[in-house]
A and B are shown apart, each in its own frame.
Chain A
């Protein structure tokens, strides 16, 4: 259910209030961008998809009835757009896996300025952190799309099972089993690439 504050914000959006637009962007742009980025693994794609998410939100805000939280509705639009983009990219890059991996490497190497990184760690710790982050992101990118989305929504965004079920449109039990499969697959990836047991 929406809160009173959310309802007022949505009403202002439905009235095409530009300040409400700015408020929604301030509240959600980084969350949406982060979720999309973690699922598609590319800054360029993430920026384009996240922009499309907000265009859809504003285009269809009149249809939002308030029977779910606004953030749930927003995440649903974000996962739908991301799913479609992943399908498209998957088809396009079917035979270009190495190209994608190279792109992912470059993304991670370049990602430092826009990610919030602590500045107190020493060079070794920073390198180790970057290495770990790269392996994790590659592991996420290697997951099945439906596994990837539940993992990101749960372990990156810390959403509850029922919120994820509402966002993805699958039963809570399915969310749990997909999440478990995703975590195990990622564990195998980490063990393989970081030499963990």
Chain B
């Protein structure tokens, strides 16, 4: 947007504060706001309060989970799953079905070939 040197009013300037703080303003808006802040005491003071506010949120001390938090989650999971969640899964559940099918097919084929080879006169490959 193109503003004249003093085309921003207080309301419009305030609308740009957040994007200005996040360095997300297009060049035209940026220069218009900076010009306005230089000349407007009210908006400059408003922006300073805005800056202090957002800065204070960023300065909040990180809250740490209680020391037994992970254990409490583990207990809750065990209780809800009746102890099954962390039990080792059955072999068939851990091996993908595709791989399981291929191995089984190979095994059947191998048995078939061995059986046929043990009777060479009847050899019929699939």
B53 is contacted by which of A32, A46, A117, A190 (Cβ under 8 Å)? A190
In the bound complex, residues from chain B placing their C-beta under 8 Å from that of A155 are: 54, 57-58
B52/A190 in contact, CB under 8 A: yes
B60/A133 in contact, CB under 8 A: yes
A125 to B17: give the CA distance in the assembly, Å: 29
B69/A29 in contact, CB under 8 A: yes
Given A16-B86, A16-B87, A116-B62, are A55 and B49 neighbors across the interface (CB < 8 Å)?
no
B80/A140 in contact, CB under 8 A: no
Given A16-B85, A180-B18, A187-B50, are A47 and B66 neighbors across the interface (CB < 8 Å)?
yes
B71 smallest CB distance to A (angstroms) = 9
B64/A183 in contact, CB under 8 A: no
B73/A190 in contact, CB under 8 A: no
The number of residue pairs between A and B whose CB atoms lie closer than 8 Å in the complex comes to 121
A50 is contacted by which of B48, B56, B57, B69 (Cβ under 8 Å)? B69
In the bound complex, residues from chain A placing their C-beta under 8 Å from that of B87 are: 16
Binds B, one of A18-26, A65-73, A78-86, A92-100: A18-26
A156/B86 in contact, CB under 8 A: no
Which of A114, A137, A158 has its CB near the most chain B CB atoms (within 10 A)?
Answer: A114
B57 is contacted by which of A25, A34, A47, A140 (Cβ under 8 Å)? A140
A155 to B54: give the CA distance in the assembly, Å: 7
In the bound complex, residues from chain A placing their C-beta under 8 Å from that of B57 are: 136, 140, 151, 155-156, 186
Given A114-B64, A115-B61, A156-B58, are A29 and B53 neighbors across the interface (CB < 8 Å)?
no
In the bound complex, residues from chain B placing their C-beta under 8 Å from that of A111 are: 63
Say if the beta carbon of B65 comes within 8 Å of chain A: yes
A22/B70 in contact, CB under 8 A: yes
Say if the beta carbon of A76 comes within 8 Å of chain B: no
In the bound complex, residues from chain B placing their C-beta under 8 Å from that of A43 are: 63
Say if the beta carbon of A30 comes within 8 Å of chain B: yes
A137/B60 in contact, CB under 8 A: yes
Top 10 A-B residue pairs of the complex, sorted by shortest distance between their CB atoms: A180-B18, A33-B65, A115-B61, A25-B70, A155-B57, A187-B53, A54-B73, A29-B65, A37-B63, A34-B63
Chain A residues engaging chain B, CB cutoff 8 angstroms: 15-16, 18, 21-22, 25-26, 29-30, 32-34, 37-38, 43, 46-47, 50-51, 54-55, 58-59, 111, 114-117, 132-133, 136-137, 140, 151, 155-156, 158, 161, 176, 179-180, 183-184, 186-187, 190-191, 196-197
Would you give 11 A-B contacts (Cβ < 8 Å), ordered by A?
A: A16-B89, A29-B65, A50-B69, A51-B73, A58-B77, A59-B77, A132-B56, A156-B57, A179-B18, A183-B21, A186-B53
